[in-house]
Amino acid sequence: MRVLALDLGSKRVGVAISDATAHVASPRSTILRSGDREKEHREVLQLIDDEGVDLVVVGLPLNMDGSRGPAARAAEAEAADLARLLSVPVQLVDERLTTVSADRILQARGARVPARRKVVDQTAAAVLLQAWLDGEAGARARADGRPAMGGGSVTG
């Protein structure tokens, strides 16, 4: 089972993917926001087809107190749009502090600011995906051999 993670931002979408056993997440790419949401979603669809993805997890940027602000509502709306387009399930996942964690990882590796900017979004997606894979939902999906929900649905 392969899982794709999306870290939705206003300027970029970070993409990460799991290995075939759904145990290890790796940064995959960054989709630059062009203002053409349909084109961006077609890029996601192409990645799903190319990589044989069974599930998409989308970062939900909750406020630190767990409430939903404008960014979380925008992510929920985009995840719903993706769920209507894709043939695989879409699941929302709390992404608080993933970008901070990603930036710290890149700093620890000695990456300078310009280099970090190029990969921080895909690294944040990998942090998000690895947390999901290591958690209960990932373990449950691996045990079942398939995602827990049906295609085209959005769960949070």
CATH of the domain at 131: 3.30.420.140
Residue pointed to by tokens 């502090």: 97
Stated pTM of the model: 0.83
Closest Cα to residue 94, out of 72, 61, 129?
61
> Is 116 a residue whose pLDDT tops 90?
no
The string of pLDDT tens digits covering residues 2-58 is: 999 999 999 999 999 999 999 999 999 999 999 999 999 999 999 999 999 999 999
Tell me the sheet residues that pair with 3. Answer: 55
pLDDT value of residue 118: 67
The string of pLDDT tens digits covering residues 49-82 is: 999 999 999 999 988 888 999 999 999 999 999 9
pLDDT value of residue 154: 62
**What is the number of other CB atoms lying within 10 angstroms of the CB of residue 39?**
11
Q: Is 126 exposed, middle or buried (0-12, 13-18, 19+ CB in 10 A)?
A: buried
Q: For residue 36, what are the domain limits?
A: 3-155
For the chain, what is the domain count? 1
- Sorting pLDDT into bands at 50, 70 and 90, what band is 115? low
Q: Which CA distances in Å does 102 have to 40, 75, 124, 144, 155?
A: 23, 19, 5, 30, 25
